[in-house]
Amino acid sequence: MLEKPCIQSRGFKNVERNGQVIGFQVNIRSLYYRGLWLSQLRPATVTVDGETFSGDQITWTINDVTYTQAEMAELGDVHWGLLKPATLTVAKEGGLESGSHEIEVNYTYSCSYFPPVADTVLGGTQKRTLILV
Q: Which residues bind another protein (CB under 8 A)?
A: 1-4, 29, 33-37, 39-40, 42, 73-74, 76-77, 79, 81-83, 110-117, 119
d(CA 88, CA 85): 9
Between 78 and 132, name the residue whose CB sits nearer to another protein: 78
From 25, 23, 26, 33, select the one nearest 8 (Cα to Cα): 26
Q: How far is the CB of 132 from another protein (least distance, A)?
A: 23
Residue 20 pairs in a beta bridge with 17
Q: How far is the CB of 17 from another protein (least distance, A)?
A: 30
Between 14 and 106, name the residue whose CB sits nearer to another protein: 106
CA distance readout (Å), 100 to 58, 67, 132: 21, 28, 6
Please report the sign of the dihedral spanned by the C-alpha atoms of residue 117, residue 68, residue 11, residue 25.
negative
Between 73 and 132, name the residue whose CB sits nearer to another protein: 73
Q: How far is the CB of 131 from another protein (least distance, A)?
A: 20
Between 6 and 130, name the residue whose CB sits nearer to another protein: 6
Residue 99 pairs in a beta bridge with 132
Cβ atoms of 100 and 91 within 8 Å: the answer is: no
Q: How far is the CB of 1 from another protein (least distance, A)?
A: 6
